[in-house]
Amino acid sequence: MASQKVLDGQTNDQSFPGIWEELNWRGLIALSTDEAELKKALNSDSIVYYCGFDPTAPSLHLGNLVQLLVMRRLQLAGHKPIALIGGATGLIGDPKPTAERTLNTKETVAAWVEKLEGQARAFLSFEGKNAASMANNLDWTESLSSIDFLRNIGKHYRVGKMLSKDAVSARLNSDAGISFTEFSYQILQGMDFLELYRRHNCVMQVGGSDQWGNLTSGTDLIHKVEAKSAHILATPLITDSEGKKFGKSEGNAVWLDGELTSPYAFYQFWLNVEDANVINLLKVFTFLSKNEIDELERQLAAEPHLRAAQKRLALEVTTLVHSTEAAEAAIAASAALFGQGDLEALDDVTLAAALSELPNAKAKLGQGIVDLLVETGLVASNSAGRRAIAEGGVYLNNNKVEDELAQLDQALLGRFAVLRRGKKTLAGIFIEK
pLDDT for res 198: 97
Task: Return the beta strands (E) in 249-398 as ranges.
Answer: 360-364, 394-396
pLDDT for res 199: 97
pLDDT for res 308: 97
Query: In this structure, are 23 and 168 located in the same domain?
Result: yes
Element (H, E) at 232: strand 231-235
Query: In this structure, are 137 and 93 located in the same domain?
Result: yes
pLDDT for res 368: 95
Query: In this structure, are 141 and 197 located in the same domain?
Result: yes
Rounded CA-CA distance 17/370 in Å is: 63
> What's the structural domain count of the chain?
3
Nearest to 283 by CA among 309, 259, 257, 262: 309
- CB atoms near residue 416 (< 10 Å): 21
- CB atoms near residue 2 (< 10 Å): 21
Domain that holds residue 325: 262-349
- Averaged pLDDT, groups of 10, the chain, 433 residues long: 60 83 97 95 94 96 96 97 96 82 93 97 95 97 94 92 84 84 92 97 96 93 96 90 62 87 95 94 96 98 96 97 96 91 91 93 94 95 95 94 94 93 93 89
Query: In this structure, are 271 and 332 located in the same domain?
Result: yes
- Strand pairing category for 80-85 and 133-136: parallel
Sheet holding 416-421, edge to edge: 360-364, 425-432, 416-421, 394-396, 399-400
pLDDT for res 94: 83
Query: In this structure, are 185 and 317 located in the same domain?
Result: no
Query: In this structure, are 216 and 72 located in the same domain?
Result: yes
196-202's contacts with Cβ under 8 Å and 24+ in sequence apart are 196/48, 196/50, 196/82, 196/84, 196/135, 197/222, 197/226, 197/228, 197/230, 198/226, 200/48, 200/82, 200/133, 201/48, 202/48, 202/49, 202/50, 202/82, 202/230
SS3 assignment, position 364:
strand
Rounded CA-CA distance 64/84 in Å is: 12
- Answer whether residue 88 is part of any domain: yes
Query: In this structure, are 97 and 156 located in the same domain?
Result: yes
Rounded CA-CA distance 394/367 in Å is: 15
Query: In this structure, are 131 and 234 located in the same domain?
Result: yes
Query: In this structure, are 214 and 340 located in the same domain?
Result: no
CATH code of the domain containing 326: 1.10.240.10
Check: CB of residue 379 under 8 Å from CB of residue 421: yes
CATH code of the domain containing 135: 3.40.50.620
pLDDT for res 256: 97
- Strand pairing category for 48-53 and 360-364: unpaired
- CB atoms near residue 366 (< 10 Å): 8
pLDDT for res 246: 62
φ and ψ at residue 417, rounded to 5 degrees? -150, 150
CATH code of the domain containing 415: 3.10.290.10
Query: In this structure, are 78 and 144 located in the same domain?
Result: yes
Query: In this structure, are 298 and 200 located in the same domain?
Result: no
Last residue of a domain, one of 349, 370, 398: 349
- Answer whether residue 94 is part of any domain: yes
Which residues share a beta bridge with 49?
81, 204
Last residue of a domain, one of 298, 322, 349: 349
pLDDT for res 95: 82
Query: In this structure, are 132 and 177 located in the same domain?
Result: yes
- Answer whether residue 253 is part of any domain: no
